[in-house]
Amino acid sequence: MSADPSGAPDAIPWRVRFSWGLGSFGTIAYLNVVTALVLVYLTTIIKIEPGIAGLIVFVARFADAISDPLMGWVTDRTRSRWGRRRPYLLLGAVICAFSVPLVYSLHHMVSPDNAPYVALAVLVVYSLGFTIFNVPYLTMPVEMTRDRMQRLGIMGYRSVFMMFGSVAGSAIAPLIVEKLGRQNPDSYQTLGAIYGAVVFAVMMTTFLGTRTANASQIDEAASHVPIREQLRAVLDNRPFMMMVGIKVLQFIALSAGGATTAFFVVMVLKRDFSLMSQLAIATIASTVIFIPVFRWLGRYMTKRTGLAIGIIGEVFATLTWLFATPEDSTAFFIARGILGGIFSSAILLFSQAMWLDTIDHDRERTGLRREGLYTSIYVFIERLGYSLGPLLLGELLQLMHFDKNLPLEQQPPSAELAVILSLVGIPSLAYTAGLIFLWFYKLPERVEPTR
């Protein structure tokens, strides 16, 4: 994608921006349809102890994290008529399409003796499918344009589709299970079949729709630099390392909240899964509305300031759940979802744009192109953070006497406290700790003058 004679970069075509952004609907729906319900499924349907179930999810996602740097290394060195990244979008789409149905068909595949082992094997395959698609997918914007404001624009598309994917996985999926019967194992199997088909269609659209996207050729100089020296250069990129800290904590918060919501709605609020749908829709609506607002504000303040506003607001919104009771009206719950969505939009938009800036910062310093390496390391840390939420929830439930043989409505008060700690305490602490890393993030930014 060349620049015009005036020096302004060519705009990324709308079809490419839309098709690439749509991929985040697929990846986030793929993640959230499992994140939202897999611990409920493993504990109440497969009858695995919550501590073991949380450990299974953690190990599977850690395997995903370990594979991320290798995936980045592979894509950086791939030569094909489809470019470096796009062949893996196709492969990842196929693996993801059958992985979701496999996860929610475990009740037909296991016995009491082998359930943990079979569940782990299936979830590892599920996680690797995500890696194969997501690592090259996230690398593509750096190759589409060198202009940071254009990247902020394309990240706006991604942020919107991430929210729609979140609603598909966190809202619609629980509603389907609730309507078909929460205690019926085949309800989960039907859910898996539906989402396998949806994810495949979306990921294939991304693969086909980005065929005209700019894709830089392999930087031969970078490919001959020893991996140890490349990793040293990454560690020396201080802004990138600060973003690593921010994002790993952000994903601990997100994964803890996402894994806990189903338990919280039923055990603490004494409602059914339909409230999850209402909360997610409220959150997605406010997030989508405010992404353009924060994108406009991003012209007049730094991304760092915008991210700080988002984090502080999100902590406040999370803490309000401490005061939620079963007697509260549905409207009161929805208001909390709206408040959280407003600040989530700032976190999504500014943090995604900032990590792309840190990758570009390395290219400006060294003259080498290492987008795949940077993205894979970033995703490794991200996946590590995302794996900790289910582990922490599972261990809290185990420690505080969750009974796998009882329905969610009949769990003891101690288990309810574990759920509150996971939904409110862990995210609040994680987001607050992220502000420390943000304080040390220093990268010059362009801000339009006030008129």
Is residue 7 domain-resident? no
The answer to whether residue 53 scores a pLDDT higher than 90 is yes
Question: Phi and psi dihedrals of 445, rounded to 5?
Answer: -130, 150
The answer to whether residue 205 scores a pLDDT higher than 70 is yes
What predicted TM-score, i.e. pTM, was given to this entire model? Answer: 0.80
Give the residue-averaged pLDDT of 133-160.
74
Is residue 145 domain-resident? yes
Residue 336, domain CATH: 1.20.1250.20
The answer to whether residue 73 scores a pLDDT higher than 80 is no
Per-residue pLDDT at 417: 96
Q: Which of 131-145, 147-161, 344-358 has the lowest mean pLDDT?
A: 147-161
Of 170, 166, 159, 172, which Cα lies nearest the Cα of 289?
159
Per-residue pLDDT at 6: 44
Give the residue-averaged pLDDT of 69-75.
76
The answer to whether residue 240 scores a pLDDT higher than 70 is yes
Contact between 317 and 343 (Cβ < 8 Å): yes
- Residue-wise pLDDT for 384-403, tens only, equals 888 888 999 999 999 999 99
Q: Give the percent of the chain with pLDDT over 70.
A: 88
Task: State the Cα–Cα distance between residues 427 and 315, nearest whole angstrom.
Answer: 8
Is residue 61 domain-resident? yes
Is residue 212 domain-resident? no
Per-residue pLDDT at 234: 73
Structural domain of 181: 14-206+222-439
Task: State the Cα–Cα distance between residues 47 and 145, nearest whole angstrom.
Answer: 50
Per-residue pLDDT at 447: 55
Give the residue-averaged pLDDT of 82-87.
79
- Residue-wise pLDDT for 89-130, tens only, equals 999 999 999 999 999 999 999 888 899 999 999 999 999 999
Is residue 369 domain-resident? yes
Per-residue pLDDT at 150: 65
Per-residue pLDDT at 215: 64
- Residue-wise pLDDT for 422-450, tens only, equals 999 999 999 999 999 999 998 866 555 54
Is residue 231 domain-resident? yes
Look over the chain and give the mean of its residue pLDDT values, rounded to a whole number: 85
Is residue 113 domain-resident? yes
The answer to whether residue 227 scores a pLDDT higher than 70 is no
Task: State the Cα–Cα distance between residues 148 and 117, nearest whole angstrom.
Answer: 46
Q: Give the percent of the chain with pLDDT over 90.
A: 47
Of 98, 89, 261, 80, which Cα lies nearest the Cα of 173?
261
Neighbours of 264 (CB within 10 A): 22
Is residue 43 domain-resident? yes
Total of domains in the chain: 1
Give the residue-averaged pLDDT of 132-136.
87
- Name the band, by pLDDT with cuts 50, 70 and 90, for residue 42: very high
